[in-house]
Amino acid sequence: MLFDSYSSSALQLANRIAMAPMTRCRADHRDAVPNAMIAEYYRQRASAGLIISEGVPISDRARGYLNTPALWNEAQAAGWKPVTDAVHAAGGKMFAQIWHCGRVSHAALHSDGSAPAGASNKPVATQTMIPGLDGRPVPVDCGQPQALSLQEIRGVVGEFAHAAKLAMQAGFDGVEIHGANGYLLDQFRCPAVNDRNDAYGGSLANRYRLLLEVVDAVAAEVAPERIAVRQSPYGVANGMVADPEPLVTYPWLARELDRRGIGFLHIYCQSTDWIHDATHSMMPALRDAFHGALIACGGFKTAAASEAILARGHADLIAFGKPFIANPDLVERLRRDAPLNKWDAATFYAPGEKGYTDYPTL
């Protein structure tokens, strides 16, 4: 089942294996244009049925990390075109994950020195990297955010739509809206972070208003069936507090996405346990609410574990993260039940080819 093709109204995928989005920091921060090394990295992994790119900032202020390739101008779109061409030439499909880091950022990462944007002024107790005086990355606490004004919120919606338009210009097969893991759209969702008293705070519908406005704006540029939305139920990354009513919150959003005809709902389990539990009610609840493709991500390392959730009908695609970093031929290794290369965490965000394009294949 894992190696069977998957067909939706918009896409034909060679198998049900997705490469999860993973930040790798191999671009030049000054222009954020993808380079030939990035194209080679994704080409090597194009046997996945679907590649979801690393998070791609939609504006300069959306950046939260050093050296992330972006998608807010024509030069960046032109830089992504050789990447998508390489993936397509190798038989793969690829979505761009469009991303606003929100308060998980620092003014030194923004060309105009602007403060991080947030749902509120509440800072996050985590770190990022900024350029040091000698050019080397320096770890710092994330900066004090400024709550977005209503006008700025409208601007963010427009930036997501513009990035989606550029993604299609760059040859991507679709886009994923990053609404998970404590970044801007998730910050609006989280009642412990979002203390607004306007139309974007308070009720569940208000806290998801920005995400749904982004979905609608992106759907004006990309066919809805080529859009994915990522969520992280029970997640506490980047200063989030676990949702107080997850079995209300996430099925509610799933129904809203289903009503809009969105093609993919990508569910990331940060704790790597509940998504594998056949008795847990979250994935069945999402299945009842959403009739597009469900992507399950979190702790999958073997074909057997993946087949189990597919057989239960709780997911249509399985996304693998770190195993794809160290195993460009992960699909074939899973098919043969072959040993997997071990990843080198020290090279996850380091510059250069080491730990990026030099892992061996079978």
Identified catalytic residue from 41, 42, 183, 359: 183
CB 268 within 8 A of CB 180: yes
CA-nearest of 46, 67, 45 to 56 is 67
CA separation (Å) from 19 to 22, 54, 244, 270, 327? 9, 10, 30, 16, 11
Q: With beta carbons less than 8 A apart as the criterion, state whether 356 and 37 touch.
A: yes
Q: How far apart are CA 188 and CA 120, in angstroms?
A: 8
A 10 A CB-CB count for 150 gives 11
Query: Is the separation of the CB atoms in 267 and 284 below 8 Å?
Result: no
Contact 280, 274 (CB under 8 A): yes
Asked whether 317 and 49 are in contact (CB, 8 A), the reply is yes
Q: How far is CA 16 from CA 3, 12, 62, in A?
A: 6, 10, 31
Cα dist from 235 to 103, 179, 301, whole Å:
17, 12, 20
Within the chain, residue ranges assigned H as helices are 36-44, 74-89, 150-169, 184-189, 204-207, 209-219, 246-259, 282-289, 303-311, 322-326, 330-336
Among the listed residues 218, 276, 192, 204, the one whose alpha carbon sits nearest the alpha carbon of residue 247 = 204
**Kind of pairing between the strands at 137-141 and 127-131:** antiparallel
CA angle (265, 148, 170) in 5-degree steps: 50
First-to-last C-alpha distance (Å) of the chain:
23
In sequence order, the 6+-apart residues with CB closer than 8 A to the CB of 261 are: 224, 225, 292
Catalytic annotation on 183? yes
Q: Which residues are catalytic?
A: 183
